[in-house]
Structures are given as structure tokens and as C-alpha cells.
Structure 1
Amino acid sequence: MKYQSIKLHEKLSKFSDHWSPKVIGEMNDYQFKLVKIVGDFVWHDHQDTDEVFIVLEGEMFIDFRDGRVQVSQGEMFIVPKGVEHKPFAHEECHIMLVEPRGVVNTGGAESELTAVNDIWI
């Protein structure tokens, strides 16, 4: 078996599209995904799972119907399952997501920002 670390900056350099998570690894039934964001996403929720945002570079915000949270580089935030939220970033932000395989980025919301699942880089 060959042991090799995953170089996050190298993986991030392989794509430029926004709001389209790319899978970089799996652990049990969970996927580690990288995504670049800028601008507004859509209001959505995930009925069956929590969602974690780990900011690798930049700064993002997550709006809730009753408030807002700022998440900066080196920080993370967990959105509880079923809570409607809308992520956004004023400038490009690089994020790692850790979520169950098959989770749709827009939850149950229909949107042109719905990304194809299981795109590996």
C-alpha cells in the first residue's frame, strides 16, 4: 500500500468554478469535499444531516432566518440538520465540507446552483 497525504492547496488549484463541491477523500460513508464560493447561494436545508463548513482561506457568512454567523479562515461552523440557511461570501472563499455521501449541495431546493455529486479531483 502506498501512503500519501492529500495536499489541499494542490487540489484547490485544480478547479475554479464556484459552489460546486469536489470530493477529495472518503471515510466510512462520509466524503471530504473542497468548494470555492463567492456571492450568494440559495436558501436551503438538509433534513437528514448536519452540515459543517471549515474555512481554509477567506471568510464566509451564513444567514439564518433569525440571524447570521461569520466564519473566518481557520474556523468552522456546524449547521444543524433541518435548519434553513444561506451561505455567502463577499470575496472568494475556500471551504472544506465533511458530509455523508450523496448529500445534495442545495438540499431540497431546486436551483441552477445544484451541483453534480461525486466529482473527484
Structure 2
Amino acid sequence: MPNKINIAEKFALFDEHWTPKIIAQANGQLVKLAKGSGKLIWHVHENEDELFLVFKGRLTLMLRNGSIVLEPGDMFVVPAGVEHCPLAEPDTHIMLIEPASTEHTGTQRTKITVATEHQRWI
């Protein structure tokens, strides 16, 4: 029988910001946790939707045509091809659900980009 996953326990395992950690996989989709603080970078996922669900803090998803503010319990799906830039209050806790093929910062590569092959399970 598969083990249940306690989200709060998983968030307690890491402190890094903007470094997604994989906690589950279902039907080719990865379930990831991340902590955010400040701005990530503007990027786009040309072929994948990206679901954001906030557990703690406040996440603003800046889009070129406006912004979406997410509080705990709120979620939003950034459609494929939509450029966005996450901006988080300190220690914001976020769940992401996205296809396994989704690159961390799309085609943008910076020192904060975590390559897909380096994202780790916790």
C-alpha cells in the first residue's frame, strides 16, 4: 500500500527558496513543493500548464496583462504559453502540479534555474 504524504512535514524538510521538490507523481504530472521569497524571473512554459496552490503566505503571479494574488487556499493555473513571474512574500509555501517535462524557468536559464534532472524527491 502506498504511503500517505503529510504536506506540512514535507515543507519542514527544506528551507531553500524557488527550488521545487518533488513529492508525488500521477499520470505524468509531478506534484512539487516550493518555498518562495521575493521575485523568481519572467518565464514561459510553451507547452505545459502550471498549477499553483498556496498553503502559507501570499503569492503574486505577475502576468503581462495583470497580476493574480493568491492567499492560503487559493490556486491558479497559468496556461501554457503565458509569460509569468512569481513574486512571493517571505516564506510563502506553494504546491505546483505540472507535467514532468516542465522546465523550472522555461527556456530562461539563470543561476537560480534548477534543471529538471536535478530536481529531487523528498
CA distance in 2, matches of 1:31, 1:46: 15
Q: Does 1:46 align with 2:19?
A: no
Q: Map 1:30-41 to 2 at 5 A.
A: 30-41=29-40
Q: Map 1:1-121 to 2 at 5 A.
A: 2-117=1-116, 118-121=119-122
Corresponding residue pairs, total = 120
| Change over 3 Å in CA distance of 1:6–1:65 after alignment to 2 | same
Question: By how many angstroms is 1:50 displaced?
Answer: 0.8
Q: RMSD between aligned alpha carbons?
A: 1.1
Letter in 2 for 1:81: A
Q: Deviations over 1:8-67 (max 9, x none)?
A: 111111111000000001112111000000000100000001111000111110111121
**Secondary structure, in 3 states, of the residue corresponding to 1:53?**
strand
Q: Would the aligned equivalents of 2:31 and 2:98 in 1 still touch at CA under 8 Å?
A: yes
Superposition TM-score, scaled by structure 1 size: 0.94
CA distance in 1, matches of 2:12, 2:36: 14
